Amino acid sequence: MINSPDSTNSADTRNIDLVAVVRSGRTLVAGAGVSGRGAISMLQDMGCPEIVLVDDSPQGVSVAGEFGIACATSSAAVELLDDAAAVVTSPGWRPDSALFIAAAAAGVPVFGDVAVAFAGDRALLWGPSRKWLVVTGTNGKTTTTSMLAEMLGERGQAVGNIGVALHDALKAQPRIEVLAAELSSFQLHWAPNLRPNAGVLLNLAEDHIDWHGSYENYGRDKTRALMGGVAVYGVDDADVVEHVEQMRSNGEFGRAPIGFTDAAPEANQVGVRDGMIVDRAFGTEEENLGEGIIIAPAAGISPPGRAGILDAVAATALARSIGTPAEDIAAALGSFEVRAHRGQVVFDHGGVPWIDDSKATNPHAADAALSGHDRVVWIAGGQLKGADIAPLIAKHAHRLQSVIVLGTDRQEICDALARIAPAVPVTAIADTDKVDAMAKACIAAAESASVGDVVLLAPAAASLDMYSGMAERGDLFAEWARKATTIDG
């Protein structure tokens, strides 16, 4: 059964006039980071009469001073709810935070910065309203959003988790007409009023369950991307399809949702036929029911493999939903290069590409990365966060030429490999120094890789056991890809 979001962000807030609410009285802003600062700026643009920043760090006092507003600790802020109009939260604050539980009890609505940005844009506070194209999913959001921004050209811009901050985008000169917004499940949870021109749900896999309370709630929050004019969804993902069918039965779509796939598209889908991306959803009725509109070649898309093609097809569907010409999409895909740490080829030595997919921080993302290659020397490991690695290994054992494992949960991965794929050579790196561990992993990979293999960093695990984040892990991999092949050769 698919559950609705929790009561701190319930259905009765979906159609509220947020601009009128924040103009009516005190608004608390939870968090002094980038999202919090943007929220304060937008609230001031809206004419909010009193803003109080809620933050327990020394940074909070400093930020409040910059904006000329008061600052309160999270415990003190609870006492301010009696005559508060709203709470605006940064996306990282959990729904079960004491402030939000108290807000629910006091009948004070809680929103995020995305909700504020969307409400202000629709209220024409920053000129005529923009077109919002929203991208979400467990994996592939950044690549899809980046592709979409390229397709939009000068009239569009990537915003949200990548690109320009929302408030800056809404006030930018020259004006940004189309917002390609990458939004997380956290941001969507706090944006019950969001009704984008089009939105896509790429895929679903277990992630952030501790924050959302259940996989069902996590998936339901993701579906908020589909609540606008055009809903685009991955028809090859069973969990996505389940949510879409539930929404369809609840009458939550204004028009029939549009599917995307890497297979030949049916009517009302965008897909791939005979090596070409084909649109059978956004042409004339005759085109949609017939052969469709040929958009661009699927070959040569960055990143390589099925995941890259699916991201390109999803981005194509969003771009086509607002009438982007096929030739603009083809030109964008032809020149697009994936962002760092998301399937980027960082080195090529002796016919062996070295691919940095450090962003593959869970088995679902690593599955997509492995699926794109026939012969893989796989560098894996880190913090599994309780994820089961065995199904991933079973699915891809046939393509593994060797595996190099590092990180805090390396033994769990080694045990699964020994049980499921005993013929695959495994090298375990016990070193816990981040540089030494990656150096040894890359040297071992260079020694085992042959022409026709790829060396793939797709850890299926988080990085914080040794690294400051997935970017540092990927950067060290790229550095040692070059050094290791020199040592090897």
Task: Look at residue 416 and tell me whether its pLDDT is greater than 90.
Answer: yes
- Whether the Cβ atoms of residue 460 and residue 363 lie closer than 8 Å to each other: yes
Instruction: Work out the percent of the chain whose per-residue pLDDT is above 90.
Output: 76
Task: Write out the DSSP string of 232-285.
Answer: EEETT-HHHHHHHHHHHHTT--SS--EEE-SS---TTEEEEETTEEEESSSS-H
Residue 177's nearest CA partner among 131, 146, 135, 133 is: 131
Phi and psi at residue 18, to the nearest 5°: -65, -35
- Whether the Cβ atoms of residue 463 and residue 358 lie closer than 8 Å to each other: yes
User: Cα–Cα distance between 458 and 362 in angstroms, integer?
Assistant: 9
Give span(s): CATH 3.40.50.720, the chain: 7-118
Fold that domain 130-335 belongs to in CATH = UDP-N-acetylmuramoyl-L-alanine:D-glutamate ligase (3.40.1190)
- At 3 the pLDDT is 36
Residues 98-109 have pLDDT tens digits of 999 999 999 999
Task: Look at residue 153 and tell me whether its pLDDT is greater than 50.
Answer: yes
- Whether the Cβ atoms of residue 358 and residue 457 lie closer than 8 Å to each other: yes
| Residues 66-88, mean pLDDT to the nearest whole number | 95
59: left (phi over 0), alpha (psi -120 to 50) or beta: alpha
- Whether the Cβ atoms of residue 399 and residue 376 lie closer than 8 Å to each other: yes
Task: Look at residue 159 and tell me whether its pLDDT is greater than 90.
Answer: yes
Fold that domain 344-488 belongs to in CATH = Protein-Tyrosine Phosphatase; Chain A (3.90.190)
User: Cα–Cα distance between 118 and 160 in angstroms, integer?
Assistant: 12
Residues 189-199 have pLDDT tens digits of 999 999 999 99
Residue reference for tokens 């940005």: 117
Task: Look at residue 164 and tell me whether its pLDDT is greater than 90.
Answer: no
Specify binding-site residues for ATP.
137-143
| 3-class secondary structure, 368 | helix
User: Cα–Cα distance between 104 and 2 in angstroms, integer?
Assistant: 22
pTM for the model stands at 0.77
User: Cα–Cα distance between 374 and 378 in angstroms, integer?
Assistant: 12
- Whether the Cβ atoms of residue 159 and residue 181 lie closer than 8 Å to each other: yes
Confidence of residue 10 (pLDDT cuts 50, 70, 90): very low
Residue 236's nearest CA partner among 189, 272, 195 is: 272
CATH number 3.40.50.970 is the correct assignment for the domain at 7-118: no
Torsion of CA 215, 218, 219, 222, to 10 degrees: -170
Confidence of residue 4 (pLDDT cuts 50, 70, 90): very low
* Distance from the Cα of residue 341 to its chain's centroid: 14
Give span(s): CATH 3.40.1190.10, the chain: 130-335
Task: Look at residue 9 and tell me whether its pLDDT is greater than 80.
Answer: no
Residues 26-40 have pLDDT tens digits of 999 999 988 999 999
Specify binding-site residues.
137-143
| Residues 416-441, mean pLDDT to the nearest whole number | 96
Residues 376-387 have pLDDT tens digits of 999 999 999 888
Task: Look at residue 488 and tell me whether its pLDDT is greater than 50.
Answer: no
Residues 225-275 have pLDDT tens digits of 999 999 999 999 999 999 999 999 999 998 999 999 999 999 999 999 999
Residues 278-331 have pLDDT tens digits of 999 999 999 999 999 999 999 988 887 888 999 999 999 999 999 999 999 999
